[in-house]
Structure formats: structure tokens, C-alpha cells
Structure 1
């Protein structure tokens, strides 16, 4: 390579003629108003005008010569010039005069370039050696040109008088010594310029350092590389349908040929195609695809490669049986960048044959040399890349068993292509595979998928990490329960004949089941005012179920038929509230839970028309009517009663035209009761439990009150007395068909009397009552067989709420009315 240096001289400009001490680089022209000059150190102060003659000036050593003229500059700004150098005006007393060179339009320009240069170039190699000269010119006859004292007189300036158009005068970087070895070794060279004018670099510093941009230029680098070429791949192996790249490193801005070597036995068909060079890459050139196959029109392909016996790249790459476009994609010419590199991308697809490929780079120098030329120098290199066959996988989320109407997620990987093609096979589906994306895989399509026609398959894009996924909604799919196989294929190939042999594919089997519904009541008997829950499971992913509760004169309007949402886990729960059961007449009620099946539409439903509510079959229509057919009248004149309505409903859902399904159950509504068990006589100080049976629900709250029957209004002269207990308890689960209520009593503070017990439901309408007596003294005990001394028992604090008995006015004890009757 022949290199030149350009010097930026914009920092130098013309100055006023009265300024001294500067050399200004400029054009070889003279104007009186703007002279360009080099000031000499010689100056003098004139004391006697008569003493200064032309001879006196010359004795001071002014270097006169051909084409050089004297220039006189005074501090007063008065100057004059003559061709002979003789002032036309006599100097004034005490004026200071200087002598300098004046650059005129005639004669030889001053200063002399060979001796008066002011820019020094520095070139340092990677070992730290700094050059004072470089070989410049041509390779045949390079000359040593100094880097010191360069006279910059043009803008832009090129070192060595380099000519951009001819290349003459550049640095000959491949110059050799007497042993034919390169003078300039491979490596990175650093170059910069320094100003030596008036010792500017030494005197003009930036905080003590050289002033970059002022006296020292910014450094540039030049990297000399060996005269060779290298090719490297970014991947040793690649799965087909993925891309890879190769990087060529060689001489800067140089043309090379790149091709897939020795692939001429391939025909570019399926599994017989080499990797192709991607289109529209920078400085990567291909022959015109339309000219492929026409002799003499593929200039790049006509390159005769080394050791080919005259064979060309065109004949060394794969043929093109279906498209001449492909053949020109197997080779290219490239141009390296100014740094000597170029990266080329290759693409593969599911037609690329899985094998090892050799990518070759080559060129013959000088460019255009024949392969038979003995003086030609061939530079080449090769790299191997292995292309592997990919694979397609598919899995189904969950346990691979699903109800019609559910959403099924399929996912997998595809390293073979950028799209995955799905179809379904199963009992009585098309042999080549059914269209899984349609509503009727049995008959959609021709029927089924068509081999090679992509839009007859479900096409899914593959992600950058080779994964894919798709959710199949089966709510509108016409399929029977059974076992089915889902195919995931790298190409739109069907299952007929041997089509899948030329593609990568995976399969997964799934079980499709018919949706169903199940339900139970939280209790078979419910007291009025108690809530009851209808809970169950509705498989098949319906959005909801319909709850029908039918009884005597119930429901009272169409809003009595309820819709309940089904949760994502297929469960549902409907609450018949306390307010609702409180108004229900005692008796038997029938419950039908209706499932809409996979189409998620209730085909049998209540429809209000005027003053009547009908249950209609929406799948049956009379002539000219599309609003369904009446099954029976639910509300209004002629409506069916209780059990008859329930039976008519299930028969309507059983219609063959209706796909809905159902489950049925019943519950009994009773009047709430509380039956307190007999308590018997108790003695003061006894601890006992009052129990009761009830049909109220578990956890219903019961207010229990135990109070003396003598508790009544008193006169002002008497003190009022109260003896008893009160509290709230919850209904507990019973073991004999009825639930139970328990209330603990401590009678330590009770006075002998008759006591009334009331138990009343707080939220429901239910009450129970009972009587018992509390007697004086302790309960009789059996006589002990051995007399022993025992400590007085400590009476525990009762747990019941009791009111202390005030000290009464002494009177004769008289039991109340109730106590008398009891006695």
C-alpha cells in the first residue's frame, strides 16, 4: 500500500505587515496591503540617516540572490521596496528597520522549501522506533523522503507529493531491503505532525505539556497487515433454518470471491440445497439472477479458482432445478472495508441438506490475472460449518384428558423451521388429517388438510428461542368423545402416503370427554329462614350453569331461575339465602342444575312473553319462527305445578336436538322447631346441661334464658329478686337426624323455685320452652360405709350469668305458684 500524509494548515493565516517574528504559509502572490514575509533577526535603530547606504545594508548579511527582494519595515508603519532593495525613502532618525523576504508574483518563491520547512512528521512503529524517512514513490523505484522540516505550502498538503488519482508519491509500505525482506513489519503505526516554527513546540505549552491541536496534531494510526486472507465462521454448527456468518480478513478495500465449495452434486431441491448467501448485504455482490445459466453473463461466477483446472465458481456450486435464482445465491464477490474485514451472512431452511459445508474465500493478484499466470499470487482460505437437521416437539398441558368445551394448550419446540403446522387425526377423521383450526375437523377442507398448502393447516410462528404454543378452544368444535392425535410438523405436510418423511414432526395423543355436571345440597332438610347451598362441578369450561328450583307455586317469577358462574377449577356454589327460605312454604322442592355443554349456550331456557313465562327449546323452531318452541308453561295460566314442572323440564333438556345436560336433586323445607329435652328437678348448687333438638342449621345462634317463675313486678316497699342464667349458643351437628342445642347451667346462686327455660333462634322464627324445679339442700347421697373426715368443698364460680340475691326483709318463706303446683 502506498500511503500519503495530509497536513491541515488552517492554523496558519496572513497577518498584518507590521507584525514580526512569524512565517506565514500562503499563496505566491504579493499585495502591498497584505504582504507575506519571513522576518530576519537583523534589525537596527537608525541614528544618522547619512550612514546608511545600500552597501551598509548588504554588509549586514542580507542573503541577496536571484529572485529575492529586500523588504523594509519600520515601526512607524512606513515601508518601501525596490527591485534592487534600495529604499526610496530615507530612513528617519531613531526609526527601527527590519529586513525580510518578500514573496512576489515574479521570481522564485521564498522561503526555499528544501531548507525552510516548519512541519515535522513523526511515524512510530509498534516496536517504538521512530522513522526520519519513508520510502515514497513506486514499488519499482521508491525514494527516501525525509519526514523532517516539511514545507507545507498547499491545502490540503500530501506528504511525498502523493497523487490521489495516480497513487504516485505514496508511502510504499511493501518496500523491501537488500535481502528482499519487508522494511516495514506488520503492526500498527502511529503518525502525527509537529510545528517547529520559531521553536513553537518548545515554547507554546499547555500546562507544561505539548499543546495538541496547536503545536502537535492528534495522532492517527495505520495498521499494516500481512498480504494474506483469512475466513472464520461465528458457529461451528447450526441447525437448519438458522443463519450463520463468516468473516473475511484480508487487504483493505480489496475484492475477494466467496462460495460454498464443491456443492455441484446438489440440485437445490428438498434436502439437496446448500446454505445461501443472504441478499442485500453491504459490499456483497451477486450475479444477476435473471442471467443465471446463460453463458458469459455471470461475471462473478466465471472466476476460475485455484487448482480447479480451469473450472469456475459457477460450475462448482449447486444446480437450480426449480429456480435459477438459487444458483446465484451460493457465491458472491465481496469488498473488504478500509480495515480489511467483511462479514457475510448465510441462511439455511428446511430444504438445506444436513451435512458439513466448506466456505472458501479466494482471489488472484494482481486482479484479473489468469489462473495460468505463473506470476499471479493467489490468496485463499477455507472454513467448515456443519448444518444439522432440526426437530419438532409437541406437548399438551395437563393430564392429556379434557372435556369438550375446555381450552387445551399445545406447546413445543421447533428447531427445523420458523413456522409450525398442526393438524388432527382420530376416529373417522380424514386419513391425511383434519383441520384442527376449523369447527368441524370431520369435514372442513377438501375434507382435511392438503399436502403442501399451508393455509389448510393451523400455522404457528416459532419464537426466537425455538419455542411455540397455541391454545385450542374446543367449545365450538364438532367432535365426539374419544382419543385423538395432534401432529406438529416443520412443513405443511399431511399424514397421507409418505409425506411426513421429508419433514420433522412430533405428535401427542389426547382424550376428549363429554362434559357433565354434578351437584349436591348442603342439607336434605332446611328450616325456614335457614340458608342452603347447591354446590357441584361443571366440567367442559362453561361460563355458568342454570339453577332451577321448582315447588308449590314456586318460582313466583322468571327471576327465580338463577344463573351461577362456574369457577376456573370447574366448581360452582349457589346460595339459597335465609331471606328466600323464610318465605318458602314448607314442603318438597325440586332442583335441576342445567349445563350448556361445549357450545356454552342454554338451549332450554325461560322466556317471558306477556303475562306468561314459557320454558322454550331454542333448537326447535316452527315454520317462519326462529324464537324456539314452547316446552311447557312455567308461570301464568296453564302452568305446571311443582313436580310436574320439574319432570317436564328434564324431558325438555333430554330432547335429541338439545346438547345441554343436567343433574337433579331435592330438599325439604320445614317449619323451624326447638324441642327442649326434659330437665328434671335440680338442687341448689347443681351443675347440669340443658339440651334440645332442632331442625335449624348448624351454627345458627340460639338465645337461651333460664329465669325464676316468681320473677315479677314488685311494690316499692319490696326488693326485687332475680335468680337464673342467660346466654347465646350455636346449634351443633346432631347424630339422630336432628341437630342439637346445649346450654350449661350452674345453680350455685339459684334460690329454690320453679324455673322457666326459653330457647329462641336469633335470625329464624323458632322457640322452645320447658320448666324445672330447683330444690333446697343438696341432692340425696348414699350413706358412706366408712366414716372419714373430708375438707369442706370449694364451690367453683358458676359460668352462667347470675344476679346476686339481695338481703331480704325477714319473712316466712312461701314458694311461688308454680312451685306449689310442682310440689
Structure 2
């Protein structure tokens, strides 16, 4: 087609819309410019000064046909001049002024009757024939157009149903009369689909045509991984600990569509079957990125892309085995799902994680084993698993009720790294000598309290600071007054409140002994005058 065709088509569209009155075009002008018309070229209605010498032996036109819709034979093409009525949509006459068809803005002239009009077929966006079939990938919907006779109606039948299309009366920028098919079937699995196009009124004896779409899963050499710290593989991490997740994507540049982000989700005990967010435990929804954990940014090198995510595990997950998945955000769409094969043949990467339960343990120094003398420094250690924000303790004995707490204590030892090592939460309390001097000799109950899964105490003393307390309160409406009660009774009341079904606090109870100070001297053997006197003895005072 000559270079002026695009301009001519715009003018043609204006004619068809009634915006511009019929006039000569830039190709054929009133001053008699001689424009050679090629075989198969589009010609605007109203053009003059056209040279049809290539059709000296005759030719055919489309869009201007006889009443029976057959093509018109051009008997004298070199002298053709075409006119158009002023109002679009009216009828115009063919070259010999003897037949009438619906008004068009342009037509095709060709040398043989097989080229008139537009052949009914499936084409791409540029008007190139697709033949009888094409192959695509799962999730990749191709652009398919139907080409046909301008102004004519066709029914396109697919597994998604039937839809009627009307071919535009004016060509597109490539000179094609086509319309995009929008009722294609869902291409989410590997199978073959058939599309059929049928003329509504088959004036041109075209008949119906069929087209096949074969859907395949593409296999590529892209490998995703999810890695956990060594402590996570042995079950040392507890629910509530911070855990570093990381992974890599090998040959990620081979992915089609490209991988831009990583999203995470987790499956396991008492969780939604399709998985939940690591942060909120809310069920994930396939294709909805906002329901997943992420996006996690990729660190890209020449050969692979890596990622890291510090999971601030809030402790909402029960003890047990879980599977963590890492999936890719591909082509702006999240192709997720438990065990599903993704559009590019990639399956979600996963790894198993065992979370142990939250717990609290008590320990005394080996040299005293929890036995102290009045006037000694009193100290104890605890190990609180599950990264609690606070630990509280109670010392209960004869006419003695003392409580204390420690918050924001160090969870990690000096050689541990956050997220890479399971925090042991080893800490403790120390009371100065004056403290034990106020304690009567005897046995005392030492109770350590862990806030549990909800990370807050459901049982607490009336003095929420440090020092003497006389009663216990709860978040679930129960309470206990301890003043004047035997120490064993007070310790049991505390234990029963913490064991209440409405409380998720944890506790451990041990004994602490206070002794009165004593000293003993070993008997001295008989000595002669001049012998050295050695006096040996023992004391329980440190």
C-alpha cells in the first residue's frame, strides 16, 4: 500500500462519520494527479485522478458488490471515477451505476475474484493469518482477532459460550477489517480448545471455520529454594522467636514471565488448607498479593537472585510441624496455591519447620543448689523460651510475700545472632544481703511466671512492680487474697489461677531455702609446746 494510505483511511473514517463532506483525497486530486493503484490496494470513496492501468485486463472490487453480494467485474478500470452521497449510511452506486450496496468508506480492488473482500479467518493483531491453530502456555492468553467481511456479523463459539461480533466497516491502521475475540476460554490447564466462527447471514458462502488453541506447561531451568537456620531444623526455635528465612532463585532470568518478587505463606496444624500469612494467620487467597507475606525484595546477581526475611513470629502458632512456602510474583500476577504447578512450570519452594512450645525453667548455682543463709546474696536464673517480653517471679514463705519482674532482658548470648540462633532467654534476679536478712529461716516457694502465647500476663499481683504483694488479680474476673494465709496455701492459689483454662500463662515452681547462719570448729588434737596451732571449721555464711 502506498505511504498515503494511513491518511486516506483517517479521511475515510471522517466520511463515514459525516464529519467531512465528500472530496478528493491526498492521493487522487482535482488537478489530475495520476496515482497508480496496486493490486489489492484500498481506495477511498470519492477519490479521483486514480490510475487503474494495472487492471487493464479487468479486476474485481469488494465492499461494492451486486445485490447478490457477488464481486463486480471492472470492465473498463482505467476510466473509473467513484462518487459518494453526502450523507454516510446512504446507498451509493457501483461503477456502472446499475447495482446498489450499503455505503462504505473504502473498498479493495484486485485482479482476481479470490481477493475481493476479507477472507474469513483468525489473525493476530497485525492482521497476519494464524492458520488453523496456535500453541500457548498455561496462563498466557494470546490476542486472537477475527477477520471477515466489513459490516457483517459472525458468531464465535468457545467453551466460554457464544458471542456475536460485527466486523468494523473501516479498516484499522494496517488496512485490516478485524475485531478482537474476547470470549476465549480459560487457559489455566494443559489441554486443547476449539474456537468456531460462523457467519450469521452467509451471503458470501463463506461457511464456518474452526481454530485450535493448544495450552502447554513450559518447563524451564528455574529453581527456587527456602532455607532455615540450623536451630530451626532441630526444633530449638519456639513459637514467638524471631526466625530468619532466606532463599534463592537460580537461573531466574530464564523465567517467562519474569520473576520480580517473592511472597511467603505457611501451612500446618489448625491452619487454612490453602495456607495463611506468616504475620496475621489470615488465609491467603490465590492471586491476591495482599493476603500473603511480602513482597520480599530480591537481591540480584548475574547467576541468581536471593532474598531474606526476618520473621517476627508473634507466637500465635501452636507447637508442631509447619511448611513454609516461597512463591514468585510473576508478570504482575501471583500464581500461588498449595502444591500447584505455576504458569512457567515452577512449583512453590518449601521447607519444614518444627516449633517447640513456649516454656520457662529455673536453675540455681551449683555451689548452693538454692540454699542460702540469712545475709547471703540471693540469686536465681531462668530460661524463658518463646522470647517473652517480661518474666515475673514470686517468693512465698513464712509471713513473706515478695514479687518482682524483669522486662526487655537480653534473649541472646554474646555469640548468638538474632534470627539465626534460637534465643535461650537466660537471665535472672539478684537480691542484696539485706534482703535475706529479713527472711526467716525455712523453705520458700519460688514461682516463675511466663506470659504465654498472648504475650501478656493473665494473672498478676496487686503490686505490679517490685516488692510486697498481698493479693492476686486476673484478666478473667477471678482473684485471691493471700494476706495471713499459710505459704503453701498462697503458692497453691497462684498455681490454680495460672492453670485456669482462661489463662495461657506458664509457670514453674521450685523451692528456695533460707538457713540461720552457723559456724563450727573442728576439735584440735593434742599439741606440744612449740607446735603450730591450726584451727579449722565450717560455716554456711557465704
Aligned to 2:310: 471
The change in CA–CA distance for 1:413 and 1:430 in structure 2 (over 3 A counts) is same
CA drift at 1:469 = 2.0
Contact 2:222–2:346, Cα closer than 8 Å, also in 1: no
1:393 and 1:669 map into 2 onto residues whose CA distance is: 57
Is the partner of 1:561 in helix, strand or coil? strand
Is the partner of 1:404 in helix, strand or coil? coil
Contact 2:241–2:315, Cα closer than 8 Å, also in 1: no
Is the partner of 1:433 in helix, strand or coil? coil
The change in CA–CA distance for 1:681 and 1:612 in structure 2 (over 3 A counts) is closer
State the number of aligned residues: 322
Aligned to 2:534: 689
Aligned to 1:480: 318
Contact 2:363–2:380, Cα closer than 8 Å, also in 1: yes
2:181 and 2:137 map into 1 onto residues whose CA distance is: 5
Correspondence 1:659 to 2:504: yes
Aligned to 1:391: 223
Matches of residues 499-578 of structure 1 in structure 2 within 5 Å?
Answer: 500=342, 502-522=345-365, 523=368, 524-555=370-401, 560-563=403-406, 565=409, 567-568=411-412, 569=423, 570-578=425-433
Is the partner of 2:372 in helix, strand or coil? strand
Aligned to 2:473: 616
1:528 and 1:471 map into 2 onto residues whose CA distance is: 48
Provide Cα deviations, 1:281-331, integer angstroms capped at 9, x if missing partner.
xxxxxxxxxxxx9985445xx8xxxxxxxxx9xx9xxx99799xxxxxxxx
Contact 1:604–1:615, Cα closer than 8 Å, also in 2: yes
Contact 2:362–2:383, Cα closer than 8 Å, also in 1: yes
The change in CA–CA distance for 1:634 and 1:500 in structure 2 (over 3 A counts) is farther
2:498 and 2:246 map into 1 onto residues whose CA distance is: 37
Aligned to 2:28: none
CA drift at 1:266 = 5.4
Give the TM-score of the pair, scaled to structure 1: 0.35
Is the partner of 2:462 in helix, strand or coil? strand
Aligned to 2:263: 421
Aligned to 1:256: none
Matches of residues 351-366 of structure 1 in structure 2 within 5 Å?
Answer: none
Contact 1:517–1:662, Cα closer than 8 Å, also in 2: yes
Is the partner of 1:696 in helix, strand or coil? coil
Matches of residues 130-149 of structure 1 in structure 2 within 5 Å?
Answer: none
CA drift at 1:607 = 2.0
Correspondence 1:449 to 2:284: yes
Give the TM-score of the pair, scaled to structure 2: 0.52
2:453 to 567, 586, 598: 598
Aligned to 1:270: 139
Aligned to 1:633: 481
**Larger RCO: 1 or 2 (CA < 8 Å, sep 6+):** 2
Is the partner of 1:449 in helix, strand or coil? coil
Aligned to 1:458: 293
1:681 and 1:496 map into 2 onto residues whose CA distance is: 88
The change in CA–CA distance for 1:521 and 1:410 in structure 2 (over 3 A counts) is same
Aligned to 1:404: 239
The runs of at least 4 aligned residues of structure 1 exceeding 6 Å deviation read 261-264, 319-323, 351-355
CA drift at 1:579 = 1.7
Correspondence 1:587 to 2:442: yes
1:424 and 1:589 map into 2 onto residues whose CA distance is: 45
Aligned to 1:193: none
The change in CA–CA distance for 1:687 and 1:297 in structure 2 (over 3 A counts) is farther
Aligned to 1:306: none
Contact 2:267–2:276, Cα closer than 8 Å, also in 1: yes
CA drift at 1:684 = 4.2
The change in CA–CA distance for 1:320 and 1:576 in structure 2 (over 3 A counts) is farther
The change in CA–CA distance for 1:475 and 1:464 in structure 2 (over 3 A counts) is closer
CA drift at 1:476 = 4.5
Matches of residues 667-816 of structure 1 in structure 2 within 5 Å?
Answer: 667-687=512-532, 689-697=534-542
The change in CA–CA distance for 1:408 and 1:352 in structure 2 (over 3 A counts) is farther
The change in CA–CA distance for 1:322 and 1:534 in structure 2 (over 3 A counts) is farther
Extract unaligned runs of 5+ from structure 1.
1-258, 275-292, 303-311, 324-350, 356-387, 622-628, 698-823
Is the partner of 2:326 in helix, strand or coil? strand
The change in CA–CA distance for 1:462 and 1:273 in structure 2 (over 3 A counts) is farther
Extract unaligned runs of 5+ from structure 2.
1-125, 144-167, 185-214, 413-422
The change in CA–CA distance for 1:294 and 1:428 in structure 2 (over 3 A counts) is farther
Structure with greater Cα Rg: 1
